[in-house]
């Protein structure tokens, strides 16, 4: 049987399901291998799923994720803890659909970063100035706290809290949203979320990124010493998910918001 791993949120309900799932899978001949799994079972919420993606980032093309939510229904999972029996039986029967989701890839002078929800450039220490280019063409000068680049999936996360648009599932788009932009008659940026095709390349250039941070989902990295960050859809790796049943995107939206 193919090896599996479990990533569970550290709460009582998730831990209980983790124990039960491990027992039931091993009873069917599956072998636990957290180093090189074929399937990663995610027990928790959307945050747990994102954590699991980053944990297995180097193996994404070889790993499939299958999740159960121990709370309200999430965007990344189709089952809640009360659906455990159906969740397990669907997996054992192989009656699932595999879907893939894109990642964002950010490159600086010295590093490469990946995110499934969003890439952020933020500076809470001082006003951050940036020249922004789209596909190599100058777009605008920005001054403020920072910028957020979100995938369609990430449009309902931090991007939404910034006033960005929620993008419908399946649309091949990314979104650029300002974080506390400064606007007056001396300098002014667009000041509105900008929805673009997902094949664009965004560049953020500055002579001084001191104090600035690059956020890749929940991971945060220092940008001091860098001079540019480019962001695009990653072309080499995608997130592979197993879906056992169809729940409409609009049902998820109304359940969560």
CB burial of residue 180 (10 Å; 0-12, 13-18, 19+): middle
68 phi/psi in degrees, rounded to 5? -135, 130
User: Does residue 12 have an active-site annotation?
Assistant: no
Write down the catalytic residue from 11, 24, 46, 207. Answer: 46
Distance separating the N- and C-terminal Cα atoms of the chain: 40
Under 8 Å CB-to-CB from 184, ≥6 apart: which residues?
none
Confirm if 3 and 32 have CB atoms less than 8 A apart. Answer: yes
Distance separating alpha carbons of residues 47 and 39, to the nearest angstrom: 18
- Sign of dihedral through CA atoms 177, 180, 184, 188? negative
Name 219's bridge partners. 216
**Mind telling me the catalytic residues?**
46
């Amino acid at each position: 049987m193919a090896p599996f791993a479990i990533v569970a949120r550290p709460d009582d309900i998730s831990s209980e399901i983790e124990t039960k799932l491990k027992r039931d899978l091993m009873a069917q001949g599956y072998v636990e291998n957290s180093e090189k799994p074929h399937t990663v079972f995610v027990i928790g919420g959307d945050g747990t799923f994102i954590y699991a993606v980053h944990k297995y980032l180097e193996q994404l093309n070889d790993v499939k994720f299958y999740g159960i939510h121990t709370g309200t229904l999430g965007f990344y999972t189709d089952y809640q803890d009360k659906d455990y029996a159906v969740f397990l039986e669907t997996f054992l029967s192989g009656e699932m659909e595999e879907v893939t989701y894109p990642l964002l890839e950010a490159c600086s002078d010295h590093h490469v970063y990946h995110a499934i929800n969003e890439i952020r450039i933020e500076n809470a220490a001082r006003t951050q100035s940036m020249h922004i280019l789209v596909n190599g063409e100058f777009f605008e000068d920005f001054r403020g706290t920072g910028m957020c680049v979100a995938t369609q999936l990430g449009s309902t996360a931090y991007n939404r809290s910034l006033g960005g648009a929620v993008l419908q599932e399946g649309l091949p788009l990314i979104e650029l949203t300002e974080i506390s932009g400064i606007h007056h008659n001396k300098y002014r940026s667009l000041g509105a979320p900008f929805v673009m095709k997902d094949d664009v390349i965004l560049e953020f250039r500055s002579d001084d990124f001191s104090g600035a941070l690059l956020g890749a989902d929940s991971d945060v990295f220092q940008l001091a010493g860098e001079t540019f960050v480019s962001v695009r859809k990653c072309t080499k790796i995608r997130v592979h998910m197993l879906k056992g049943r169809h729940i409409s995107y609009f049902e998820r939206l109304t359940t969560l918001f």
